Structure 1
Amino acid sequence: MNWDEMADCHGDVHRVPALLERVERDEDDAEAWDELGYRLLLEEEWVFPAGFAAFPRLVRLAARSDRARGLAGSIMRCAAGGHGCDDLLAECAGAITEFRTLLDRHLRSRPADYLAAYRALLAVEEEYHWGAVIGDFSDDFYEIDCPHCAAEVTIAIGGYGRYSAIRDWHLGDVDRRALRPASPDDLSGTGRWMHATAVRDGRQTLADGIACLFGQAECPRCASVFTIADEYAASHRPVM
Structure 2
Amino acid sequence: MTSTFGQGPLFFPLTFRPRRSPLFPARSGTLVARRVTMLTRDECGASGGSRTCRREAEYGRMTHPAVDWSQLSHAYGPADDIPGLFVRLNGSQEDEKVWHDLWSALCHQGTVYEASYAALPALAAIATGRAPGERKQAVLMGGLIVAEADATLRGRYASQITELMSVTRACLADVPADEPEMFVYLAQGLLAFEGVPIWSQQLELLFEEFEAECSECEALTCILLGEYVDECDAELHPASPDELTGVGARIYNMARDAGHDQVAAWATHLFGYATCPECETRFSISVGIAGQEHS
Bin for the TM-score computed over the shorter chain? 0.7 to 0.9
Equivalent position of 1:70 in the other structure: 137
Instruction: Give the deviation of 1:215 after TM superposition.
Output: 1.6
Contact kept, 8 Å, 2:124 with 2:138, in 1: the verdict is no
Paired with 1:14 and 1:154, the residues of 2 have a C-alpha distance of 43
Q: Displacement, 1:212?
A: 1.6
Q: Give me the TM-score of the superposition, normalised by structure 1.
A: 0.76
Do the aligned partners of residues 220 and 35 (structure 1) sit closer, same or farther apart at CA in structure 2, a change above 3 Å counting?
Answer: closer
Shift of 1:116: 2.9
Residue 262 (structure 2) pairs with residue 197 (structure 1): no
- Percent identity reads 26
Shift of 1:207: 0.4
Distance in 1, Cα, partners of 2:154 & 2:71: 15
CA–CA distance in 2 between the matches of 1:231 and 1:66?
39
Give me the whole-angstrom Cα distance separating, in 1, the residues matched to 2:87 and 2:287: 44
Q: Is the CA contact (8 Å cut-off) linking 1:218 and 1:224 kept in structure 2?
A: yes
**CA RMSD between the two structures:** 3.0
Q: Distance in 2 between matches of 1:15 and 1:161?
A: 43
Q: Identify which range, 125-134 or 220-229, moves more after superposition.
A: 125-134
1:212 pairs, out of 232, 249, 269, with 269
**Local SS of the residue matching 1:221:** coil
1:17 is matched with which residue: 75, 80, 83? 83
**Structure 1 residues 136 and 38, CA, compared in 2 at 3 Å: closer, same or farther?**
closer
Q: Give 1:154's aligned residue.
A: 222
| Equivalent AA in structure 2 for residue 8 of structure 1 | H
The offset of 1:2, in angstroms, is: 2.5
* Amino acid of the structure 1 residue aligned with 2:240: S
In structure 2, which of residues 169, 174, 186 is the aligned counterpart of residue 109 of structure 1? 174
> 2:91, 2:73 → 1: CA distance?
23
TM-score (norm 2): 0.64
Distance 1:96 1:217 in 2: 36
Q: 1:61 aligns with which of 126, 146, 152?
A: 126
Trace 1:90-105 onto structure 2 (pairs within 5 A).
90-105=155-170
Query: CA offset at residue 148 of structure 1?
Result: 1.1
1 CA distance for matches of 2:133 and 2:198? 24
Establish whether residue 7 from structure 1 lines up as the match of residue 64 from structure 2.
no
Corresponding pairs, count:
221
Distance 1:49 1:161 in 2: 38
1:141 alignment partner in structure 2? 209
Equivalents in 2 of 1:233, 1:17: separation in Å?
37
Match of 2:190 in 1: 121
Deviation at 1:131, TM superposition (A): 4.2
| CA shift in 2, pair 1:151/1:163, >3 Å | farther
Unaligned runs of 5+ in 1: 165-172
Deviations 1:126-184 (A, max 9, x none): 346434444485x63231121212222122334454597xxxxxxxx3xx42x222222
